[in-house]
Structure 1
Amino acid sequence: MIVGIVGLPLSGKTTLFNALTGGSVAVDKFMGGKRETHRAVVNVPDERLERLAEIFQPRKVTPATVEYVDMAPVQREGGSRSGLDDEFLGYIRTLDELLIVLRAFEDEAVPHPLGDVDPVRDFDELMAEFLLSDLAIVENRIARLEKTAHKTKNEEELFELELLSRFRTVLEENKPLRVLELAPEEEKVVRGYAFLTLKPTLVVVNIGEQDLGQEEAWLDRFADVMAVPDTRVTAVCAQIEAEIAQLDPEDARAFLEDMNLKEPARLRLIRDSYELLGLVNFFTAGEKEVRAWTIRRGTRAKEAAGVIHSDLERGFIRAEVVPYEDLVRLGSFARCREEGVLRLEGKDYVVRDGDVITVRFGV
């Protein structure tokens, strides 16, 4: 999973990147508009993995990971939208999810580039950029299809033309493509375009410390945004969270208690990303290694085996499956087998979150 952090200059997106990754990237590096990025791979905290490690005492424990990419800021020049360059657009189209940071904090020492702080306006600015980018792709493709589809009567091209015409209508209404409910065959047709407004989107309203406890008031301003499918909005004080990320666990717990915070925001944001992308974790466990693997919800056993190694998918015979709860309760695969909770599943079994799987294969 690769999540791109996007925002206007001085929105606090690099501070949030530090909060998510425990990094210490200087927050002034993007003020000059450089097209550079920072990236970091973060372990996904999972108490289930820790518990399995206690049971199996493996030589190696490997958690699932998420990669965060702190993109260069979306720049405006001369008070008007300058447009996004092709390199920037091409890169963010490769991302699995967009994390949009909106500034809601006041700081006289760091004036907002648009003059005043208005996160709703900033969101509209960014969405306008993404909508225009998607619309340009749709219109260019429609123009090419209209020259050939009706002449050749190619069914696939006619299907794509009708679908993209629907896309154009939605985009011209200033709505993201996420509002559309697409059938699997429609998703397949447009997957290669990697439309920005079709990507799962996590919106982070970056509030000041004085607004902690007032998060709901900020979120109320984004009720329309939260109603869009595959979209989540949350409020975070990135500055406080970046400070927490630099502390050792004991000091971090004390800090959270002092600030009346239940947990670091990074845990909540990782959960939000998993849910937006429809991801679940399954596990493999043994004396050599206990490992978490991330898959899409609905993935079948044979495909899940391929996530571990292509040989396992190619030579898949069956999967031995134990629910995490049963394995922890009974303490070993042997006891699970004795109690009848270890199941043999075929290639079409849909893997569930928390399944502990042993793949049997032959090549």
Structure 2
Amino acid sequence: MQVGIVGLPASGKTTLFNALTRGSAATATYGGRTEVNVGVITVPDSRVDWLADLYRPRKVSPASIEFIDGMGGQEARERRSGLGADFYATVRKSEALAVVVRAFEDEAVPHPKGRLDPVADAHEVISELILADLGVVERRLERLEKESRGAKADRARALRQVEVFQRLREALESERAVGEVGLSEEEREAIREVELLTEKAVALVLNVGEEQLARPPESAERLAEYARERGYACLSLSAKVEAEIARLDPGEEAEFLEAMGIEEPGRSRFIRVCYEALGLTSFFTVGEDEVRAWTIRKGTAAVAAAGKIHTDLARGFIRAEVIPFERLREAGSWNAAKEKGFLRLEGKEYRVQDGDIFHVRFQV
């Protein structure tokens, strides 16, 4: 899974990137950074740990998330606000966007607009994303309209897509995100290659100061309401505090969290929010060679899950052997679970459930 981190200058998005990835990317005010930061983290999952203890495999592969903190410096120098067209290319391939908005006060790093209004900041970022998508849609429409006058073989496909992209243009011109249009699965497939920003799942991240952790600012509820109205996920954290936590070893981290009165690191909460926003779930493959967690969307069919492991498994799919994780843990081993009748044989259309232990019978 890939998550792009976006936000206005001085919102703390690179500090959040460091907190999430335990990194040390340089932070700067406004125009000081022009490179892209990329970091990968593993998704903590006690089920993977238990399966690794059971199978003692040569390799353990937890699920992972790649975070992309794109450049914003050039646009910031030119406008002292906003994100900039060059920035978007770095996050278009992301499956979700984390929009960082600021609630903390820091005289050394003033807000570029001279305000502390997280809802206004969120709206400005979303408006920038809509504007960027509108440019992409208009360019695609120009191309499709040329194709619709071309060879007969291309004409019918182009005309169908023209209708879809015209609907998107109308929505974007009305400041509505692509995700609000209500496209069918076939229509979503038709627009997938253009990687529209406002079709992606969005999590609003309210970046608060340390002193605001115990008493959240009034703007937190307003931002949560803004998120609910648009179907976005929302959470509050202090990127600065989380970055400090990320530099600690596990023992020191537990002591620090207790001293700060923080029940769970923001990193863990953020991962959970990303999974919920994207409707993601995990299934597992096990054996002496490897124990691996696979991330899929909820409702994924067994044959599609098999294809995620290897295309041959989908092509030659016969049946999936499935044991729910809790049943395997109860039985203590695959064979014992099978003897207790916990193993099921499922067909292509079975919807894979969170925690399924999955083995594919196939023939090619």
TM-score, normalised by the number of residues in structure 2? 0.90
Q: Distance in 2 between matches of 1:81 and 1:208?
A: 21
Alignment correspondent of 1:140: 139
Compare 152-161 and 18-27 and name the one that shifted more. 152-161
Partner SS, residue 307 of structure 1:
helix
Which amino acid is 2:70 matched to?
Answer: M
Per-residue deviation at 1:83? Answer: 7.0
Per-residue deviation at 1:175? Answer: 2.2
Q: Distance in 2 between matches of 1:190 and 1:269?
A: 28
Q: Distance in 1 between matches of 2:15 and 2:215?
A: 20
Alignment correspondent of 1:265: 266
Within a 5 Å distance, the mapping from 1:280-319 to structure 2 comes to: 280-319=281-320
Alignment correspondent of 1:325: 326
Structure 1 residue runs of 4 or more that deviate by more than 4 Å after TM superposition: 77-83, 143-155
Alignment correspondent of 2:24: 24
Gaps of 5+ in 1: none
> Would you say the 8 A contact 1:150–1:158 is kept in 2?
no
Partner SS, residue 136 of structure 2:
helix
Cα deviation per residue 1:82-116 (whole Å; 9 max; x = unaligned)? 7723x432232111111111121111122222223
Q: Distance in 1 between matches of 2:144 and 2:69?
A: 36
Compare 100-109 and 152-161 and name the one that shifted more. 152-161
Q: Distance in 2 between matches of 1:310 and 1:139?
A: 35
> Would you say the 8 A contact 1:102–1:122 is kept in 2?
yes
Per-residue deviation at 1:33? Answer: 4.2
CA RMSD of aligned residues (A): 2.4
Alignment correspondent of 1:100: 99
> Would you say the 8 A contact 2:105–2:209 is kept in 1?
yes
Within a 5 Å distance, the mapping from 1:215-230 to structure 2 comes to: 215=216, 217-222=218-223, 223-229=225-231
Q: Distance in 2 between matches of 1:10 and 1:80?
A: 10
Q: Distance in 1 between matches of 2:329 and 2:135?
A: 53
Per-residue deviation at 1:205? Answer: 1.0
TM-score, normalised by the number of residues in structure 1? 0.90
Q: Distance in 2 between matches of 1:34 and 1:208?
A: 23
Cα deviation per residue 1:126-157 (whole Å; 9 max; x = unaligned)? 22221111122223344555567599895544
Partner SS, residue 101 of structure 1:
strand
> Would you say the 8 A contact 1:104–1:207 is kept in 2?
yes
Cα deviation per residue 1:31-81 (whole Å; 9 max; x = unaligned)? 434431111110000111112222223333221111011111273456576
Per-residue deviation at 1:296? Answer: 2.0
Partner SS, residue 290 of structure 1:
strand
Which amino acid is 1:179 matched to?
Answer: E
Q: Distance in 2 between matches of 1:118 and 1:66?
A: 30
Within a 5 Å distance, the mapping from 1:212-251 to structure 2 comes to: 212-215=213-216, 217-222=218-223, 223-229=225-231, 231-251=232-252
Alignment correspondent of 1:195: 196
Partner SS, residue 24 of structure 2:
coil
Which amino acid is 1:160 matched to?
Answer: Q
Q: Do structure 1's residue 4 and structure 2's residue 4 form an aligned pair?
A: yes
Alignment correspondent of 2:43: 44
Which amino acid is 1:47 matched to?
Answer: S
Q: Distance in 1 between matches of 2:249 and 2:81?
A: 43
Which amino acid is 1:9 matched to?
Answer: P
Q: Distance in 1 between matches of 2:78 and 2:35?
A: 22
| 1:339 to 1:70, Cα distance in 2 relative to 1, 3 A | same
Partner SS, residue 218 of structure 2:
helix
Per-residue deviation at 1:306? Answer: 2.3
Within a 5 Å distance, the mapping from 1:86-165 to structure 2 comes to: 87-143=86-142, 145=144, 149=148, 154-165=155-166
Which amino acid is 1:8 matched to?
Answer: L
Q: Do structure 1's residue 70 and structure 2's residue 69 form an aligned pair?
A: yes
Compare 201-210 and 75-84 and name the one that shifted more. 75-84
Per-residue deviation at 1:120? Answer: 2.2
> Would you say the 8 A contact 1:204–1:236 is kept in 2?
yes
Q: Distance in 2 between matches of 1:44 and 1:36?
A: 26
Q: Distance in 1 between matches of 2:159 and 2:134?
A: 19
Q: Percent identity?
A: 47
Cα deviation per residue 1:190-210 (whole Å; 9 max; x = unaligned)? 212211111111111100011
Gaps of 5+ in 2: none
Partner SS, residue 267 of structure 1:
helix
Q: Distance in 1 between matches of 2:217 and 2:183?
A: 31
Q: Distance in 1 between matches of 2:248 and 2:4?
A: 25
